Structure 1
């Protein structure tokens, strides 16, 4: 994402936050905004996919203008949806597109809450019985459009949601740019500006993009392809995606996250970054108590994890990995206060990663002090 696009994104996010401010907590409207961003992404991806198919058939009419009441148009729509479910994992009808509903909401009698709720359900239902079902199941459950936090009555809620959609409708997601990271940029901005305190109180830490990038470069040094990568506490999936970006190809991405809302964000993040639904598997559960057997069967080639940042002490685990072909070395940075280091959960987390690795791992500890 260019600096100009980033500034434009921040401007609209700030305007949305101003509209939502006072009606709900910062962490709550963050999740609403990210959910709507994801919906806009799905719509734009659908439009690009559908228009390409229409052009192949010699039809210059854009997808959003197709009318389901027209028998010929309906045939095209159904064919596009069938292809969409197979290729991108979901389907949207022209009347369910983001821009269509945002435009309707701006009209004098534009009540769109019911249609918007039905659209979210339709996206999930379109995947029923398909390979992408688990990746889309309950993905929009945090977007409760009937919540009184959006307004005391349906009219007020509709007005507020329409304002949010109108702001996002002005943002160009630039899907043709593979380096674009709209959700990552939006998430980091919203966390930094509005919800960092709420997250820390809940015991959650968001890894800044710069830190994720550094860690990804360290653990992928000398590698061009990975059979699989696994993050046992993946959060919104930013570190997994950074690792994927550092190599030419990752055959499979695995992750686990205990927080339900963050788990949904991780799945959204994978889809938004164009990771095919068959190439990732994100689970929602407690990593230490319920995933050991599951992930030990997978044996990912690269287990990763974010550092817990502090100002007192850094522990560097130097892992010498003896693979059947040739020895490799992985530097895993893990930071914590010396008191926290002794807590059993830290050791459980570390040894869980060692156990789940496909390699035999030898561990050497190096302690370095940091000044405040």
Structure 2
């Protein structure tokens, strides 16, 4: 019945302390080698020395109970925690199983860092379907040659790539030897059409484009790619999700007109942790479905004639690097100092940014 918060131990100690304090984390599960990274006095348990405890009564978890909190980049310089609920997560997992079924003969590669929401379905999808979970080594997701070797060795059938890493993977000569691979999912960045054609020209696996923000339980739309496509849309909504393209007055726009994408349905998060002002700004009551809430994405989109949605960029200055959302207001001086960039006390030189 508890919620989890993933922490990257390589973050600066001050950032880790902020996340733990901001989330009111009661206890941290870690390894002994990372204890020195945590705030002094914080209750931490190492996985090789967990305290003894008697089994308690079974917990009845409800759909609107909190499942996990993931922090995303914030324009004010501080990250913001997104609160996702059990019902939203279960809807996302069950949709994926219905649309792209896997079973005991499948092996799913878990390679996404666990502070990125794609890792959530990588972990839980195989565990609820009887498939095998194959866990890559730390930082293995950055090494195409290692990934190719692991896919062949473990007979991986299913995996995910951020498009920029998929491009690196198609450069790997041994891709053609990954015969077990039957479906590849891409999300986190816009998927270019030239990359779709290049991948499909080298491998017969199905390529699927997914779209969704952290604020809506991982993914909200899907498009099955074809080498004959002219563009790569973000597709149509998944089960129990609703997508709207609205103008500045929150009125629906006709096919072909560009507006802001809004998300409704069971996948929408509870809001931002301890940020009622920002929650009120981004999570709105739906004027279309009674009792529904809409998340305004800040993404520019338009409906195509066939009902699919085309992504056209951002309405603000947010950028993405390998799937990670970055607000330009959050270029952390501590990160710069850790990386040894110039005068970290005053920030980067004019026009120079370091993003990790």
- TM-score class, shorter: 0.3 to 0.5
Q: Which has the higher helix share?
A: 1
Which has more radius of gyration? 1
Q: TM-score if structure 1 supplies the norm length?
A: 0.31
Q: Which has the higher strand share?
A: 2
